[in-house]
Amino acid sequence: MEKEKMEIKIKLEEALALSTGSESYFRHHGQALYTDGMKIVADIAGAYWLIDAIFSYARKEVFQVWHLDVVGSKAFLTMQEDTDAPVLVRQEIEFTDFPEGQWKFYLVVDPSQAVLMVPNEY
């Protein structure tokens, strides 16, 4: 299992390094969209649950920084308005097979839609 998680982590890191823009947007529910980079994350890591989780907490802040910190099989999902701002959302995930590490995502919200993306796409 650990070898498989490491292979997934390497695939994710390689794919995310190449995600420098989005040609397609995928509809989540209503006005919520996610980018090619987020689709790559969900596809490679089997993590559509992560997109669901982020959108379930989505707030009105125009710019949101989401962190997924994974150690072993546990993770914490947190959100801040900016890197140095206080944490506004925190969820402990008791079990995940998402690869270990610190992962960051951005959610940009305007009155008509919200777009979830990986940092290189911002």
What pLDDT, in 10s, does the model give residues 60-77? Answer: 899 999 999 999 999 999
Q: Report the candidate in 15, 65, 22 with the shortest Cα–Cα distance to residue 40.
A: 15
112 DSSP 8-state letter: T
Q: Structural domain tally of the chain?
A: 1
The enclosing domain of 99 has a CATH number of: 3.10.450
Instruction: Inform me whether the pLDDT recorded for 31 exceeds 80.
Output: no
pTM greater than the 0.85 cutoff = yes
Confidence class for position 1, pLDDT limits 50, 70, 90: low
Confidence class for position 24, pLDDT limits 50, 70, 90: confident
Q: Which residues contact 23 (CB under 8 A, 6 or more apart)?
A: 36
Instruction: Give percent of the chain above pLDDT 90.
Output: 72
Query: Can you give the residue range of the structural domain that contains 75?
Result: 2-121
Q: What is d(CA 26, CA 121) in angstroms, rounded to the nearest whole number?
A: 14
Averaged confidence pLDDT in the chain: 92
Instruction: Inform me whether the pLDDT recorded for 101 exceeds 80.
Output: yes
List the end-to-end C-alpha distance of the chain, in Å, as a whole number.
Answer: 33
